[in-house]
Amino acid sequence: MRIGIVGLGLIGGSLALDLRSRGFEVYGVDLEERTCQIAIEIGAVDLASISPNFLSTADIIFICTPLDAITPTLKQLIPHLSPETIITDVGSVKTPIVQECSQLWTSFVGGHPMAGTAEQGIEAAKPDLFLGASYVLTPTETTPSIASQRVEEIAQLIGANVLMCSPEAHDQAVAWISHLPVMISASLIDACLHETDSNILQLAQQLASSGFCDTSRVGGGNPQLGVMMARDNRKALLRSLFEYRHSLNQLIEVIEKEDWERLEQILTSTQQTRTKFC
Ligand code: NAP
């Protein structure tokens, strides 16, 4: 089976390394000649090119470009494809992409491997990135079952655990566990910076240790990624943020009222239920 990968960065390059090591023939496409060259040198792909018609003979194509390039990439590919080709993507937001791409191509299966690192580009690609990770597929009523089955088989072959859900359910769940934490973590750092006494602020910065560092880690990440999350998953993220504001208001009220019994109930409940997430 010949697999095409468009976008040979962290995710595309890592996927290519794994698929090639499982015996697939892998063809890659990227914007840059240099990236194509590196992908060949590290053994991620058999062949690579900057031209999308290079993938005309692929059986399955993974679009691994940044989110805003996924639909334009599919449009570019379409004139070169045979109708049996299965297309999937790895974008971290699903509703807009699945809506657009499944109208353009019948055998389109939305996907999102829940694995990554803070790095980017082909240099960051590594084998076994998806081992043990969840891999969400979001087929719709019109997606041919053979298409989602094929993508599921491949995701399982690279060691991922496949979950199926609707694009909307995916986006809301990811808003809760990925996008909301980034915003909360950023607002924690921002709130500390509102301390008006510079001596106290400096002291707090000196005293900050593992608790603060754990909680603020994702708020100190790449600003462009944070903006992309908010822009592309705006509705679901806002829903989570409004709920979060409600929880915060509840905590403020309980502490203002010195209702320590209620506070302990809330903290006991969060202590017990955290294990369901992590
Ligand atoms: P990345 O490392 O920046 O890789 C993206 C690659 O796509 C780069 O090589 C880029 O080339 C290339 N590219 C951009 N536009 C293209 C186009 N029109 N045609 C062909 N190639 C193009 O990014 P990434 O982290 O792998 O993310 C890729 C996708 O994976 C995104 O949709 C993201 O939502 C999803 N994802 C990311 C993670 C994560 O943790 N990073 C996890 C799961 C899913 P240039 O660099 O030369 O522009």
Q: Is the CB of 183 under 6 A from ligand 1?
A: no
State yes or no: pLDDT of 185 exceeds 90.
Answer: yes
User: Residue for token digits 């031209």?
Assistant: 51
Mutate to test the pocket of ligand 1, among 92, 122, 123 (most ligand atoms within 8 A of CB): 92
Which amino acid appears at position 244 of this protein?
Y
Residue 97 Cα, ligand 1 centroid: separation in angstroms? 15
The 10s digit of each residue's pLDDT in 90-106 is 999 999 999 999 999 99
Q: What is the pLDDT of residue 119?
A: 87
Return the ligand 1 atom nearest residue 29 CA. Answer: 20
Report which of 143, 50, 132 is spatially closest to residue 99, judged by C-alpha positions. 143
CB 164 within 8 A of CB 94: no
The model's pLDDT over 53-83, given as tens digits with 9 standing for 90+, comes to 889 999 999 999 999 999 999 999 999 999 9
* Three-class secondary structure of residue 161 per DSSP: strand
The Cα 126–Cα 129 span in angstroms is 6
Residue 116 — very low, low, confident or very high, per pLDDT cuts 50/70/90? confident
> Is the CB of residue 233 below 6 angstroms from any atom belonging to ligand 1?
no
Q: Region 116-134: what's the mean pLDDT?
A: 94
Secondary element (H or E) of residue 88: strand 86-89
Q: Does the pLDDT value for residue 221 go beyond 90?
A: no
**Residue 222 banded pLDDT, cuts 50, 70, 90:** confident
Read off the tokens for 201: 């602020």
Say what the pTM is. 0.94
Q: Which of 5, 15, 29, 31 to mutate to test the pocket of ligand 1 (most atoms within 8 A of CB)?
A: 31
Residue 91, ligand 1, Cβ within 6 A: yes
The tokens describing 55, both together, are 């993938």
> Does 116 sit in the ligand 1 pocket, CB within 6 Å?
yes
- The b-or-e profile of 95-120 (16+ CB within 10 A means b, else e) is bbbbebbbeebebbbbbbbbbbeeee
Residue among 207, 222, 219 nearest 182 (CA): 219
Tens of pLDDT, residue by residue over 254-270, are 999 999 999 999 999 99
Res. 225 pLDDT band, cuts 50 70 90: confident
Question: Tokens standing for 122?
Answer: 């082909």
141-182 confidence digits (pLDDT tens): 999 999 999 999 999 999 999 999 999 999 999 999 999 999
Per the structure block, which two tokens stand in for 180? Answer: 């909301």
In ligand 1, which atom is closest to the CA atom of 117?
40
